Amino acid sequence: MIDRRKFLHIPLLGVSLVSARNFFGQTFETRSALKVKRPVVVSTWDSGITANNGAWPILQNGGRALDAVEAAGRASEDEPSCCVGLAAWPDRDGKVTLDACIMDGNGDCGGVSFLERIKHPVSVARKVMEKTPHVLLSGSGAQEFEVANGFPLELGELSDDAEKEWKEWLKKSEYKPKANIENLKPGLSQFRPAFFDDGTANHDTMGTVAMDAGGRLSGMVTTSGMAFKMRGRVGDSPIVGAGLFVDNEVGAATSSGVGEEVIRICGTHTIIEQMRTGRSPEQACREAIRRIVKRDPAKAKEMQVGFVALSRTGIIGAFSLVKGFTFSVTNAQYPKGKIFEANSWF
Ligand code: SD4
């Protein structure tokens, strides 16, 4: 594919390039590179503000990035409107199944997938990392491990809104993720653009990366996966190197969107390795997106994948397939969090 944008994306540190209108009619700044001071936390989507709010008090008080990203995941899982936990949309059989992972900048990592009736999968992922010789536990085994570690089993019933949407979906049973709106808060139909009262859209995957005051990096992802997925389907989120990769020598990256596409190109690992060779975070995210586009340009136009990366030198960059991928940044400069929109291929 001819790379028409090659000369347009010149990294300009801290310079606002455009103020774009996103899919939902909101306007966020788009920057090719944002230089930030540590400590800092960065999360996918507008709803990343909730995650960042969970992490920021820890970072602000000199805490570890690892504790901060776990708190970010828990804050999202606790907040029904974030839609990443048990209040989220179910699979096509009507069951909410959750995926999560967590990773430290020294290569320690843990994940859980296809987990049911667990309120805080991110904390179970951390236990997998710290208490087992393994990296990923799945399904009933993950659930048994979680119970043995003192986490309670929740009832596992659908929220009223999620049940309504699922029954509506069953009428056609069509699995067709739509860019940026494939994962909305239950109660807001996936078949029309939807807004919260403040105009934001919501997503069912929260990816967070953080750098603490000491320069240590960590990240986490927590999700209910794509709405109405096949039972047993696992996306990119719990897979280290796909939905999340962190290396203190280079930086941290996370993803959101159609997980199958991210897994196929080992998305976040690709980004960190690109950054290792000297590419900026945005250039590295763009290269990962290019590999997705190359495989099937027509299909890539119709869906969303977004990556965001933070370098160990404090530069944030992002890139997505189509317009509308936003990310939230919180640090001393933006203590309440600020939302930016990524540049996109299409
Ligand atoms: C998945 N990547 O399970 C997730 C979905 C997602 O916003 O990011 N939704 O494929």
User: 271 lies in a domain?
Assistant: yes
DSSP string, 251-290: EEEEEEE-HHHHHHTTHHHHHHHHHHTT--HHHHHHHHHH
Radius of gyration of the chain (CA): 18
203 close to ligand 1 (CB < 6 Angstrom): yes
Do the beta carbons of residue 162 and residue 87 sit within 8 Å?
yes
User: 317 lies in a domain?
Assistant: yes
233 close to ligand 1 (CB < 6 Angstrom): no
Q: What is the pLDDT of residue 156?
A: 82
Structurally, the chain folds into a number of domains equal to 1
User: 97 lies in a domain?
Assistant: yes
306 close to ligand 1 (CB < 6 Angstrom): no
Q: What are the pLDDT digits (tens) for 129-170?
A: 999 999 999 999 999 999 999 999 998 888 888 888 888 888
CATH number reported for the structural domain that contains residue 278 in this entry: 3.60.20.30
Ligand 1 centroid – CA 275 distance (Å): 23
Residues counted in the chain: 346
Structural tokens at position 122:
């991110």
User: 1 lies in a domain?
Assistant: no
User: 3 lies in a domain?
Assistant: no
Asked about 205 being catalytic, the answer comes back as yes
Catalytic one of 205, 222, 223, 326: 205
Using the predicted structure, report yes or no on whether residue 210 has a pLDDT greater than 70. Answer: yes
What percent of the chain has pLDDT above 70? Answer: 83
User: 247 lies in a domain?
Assistant: yes
326 close to ligand 1 (CB < 6 Angstrom): no
DSSP string, 61-128: TT--HHHHHHHHHHHHHH-GGG-SSTTS---TTS---EEEEEEETTS-EEEEEEE-S-S-HHHHHHHH
Q: What is the pTM of this model?
A: 0.88
Do the beta carbons of residue 259 and residue 225 sit within 8 Å?
yes
Weakest mean pLDDT among 6-15, 230-239, 282-291, 303-312: 6-15
Structural tokens at position 190:
């996936």
Q: What is the DSSP letter of 324?
A: T
283 close to ligand 1 (CB < 6 Angstrom): no
- Domain containing 103 equals 20-344
Residue 339 pLDDT grade (very low, low, confident, very high; cuts 50, 70, 90): very high
Query: Which range is most confident: 27-31, 70-74, 191-195?
Result: 70-74
Ligand 1 centroid – CA 205 distance (Å): 5
Cα 26 vs. chain centroid, distance in angstroms? 20
Using CA atoms of 288, 289, 292, 295 in order, give the dihedral in degrees to the nearest 10: -100
The ligand 1 atom at the shortest distance from the C-alpha of residue 225 is 3
Using the predicted structure, report yes or no on whether residue 15 has a pLDDT greater than 50. Answer: no
Do the beta carbons of residue 37 and residue 60 sit within 8 Å?
no
Q: What is the pLDDT of residue 114?
A: 97
- pLDDT, mean over the chain: 86
The ligand 1 atom at the shortest distance from the C-alpha of residue 259 is 10
User: 112 lies in a domain?
Assistant: yes
Using CA atoms of 327, 40, 71, 49 in order, give the dihedral in degrees to the nearest 10: -30
Structural tokens at position 267:
């998305």
Q: What is the pLDDT of residue 4?
A: 33
Do the beta carbons of residue 89 and residue 98 sit within 8 Å?
no
User: 176 lies in a domain?
Assistant: yes
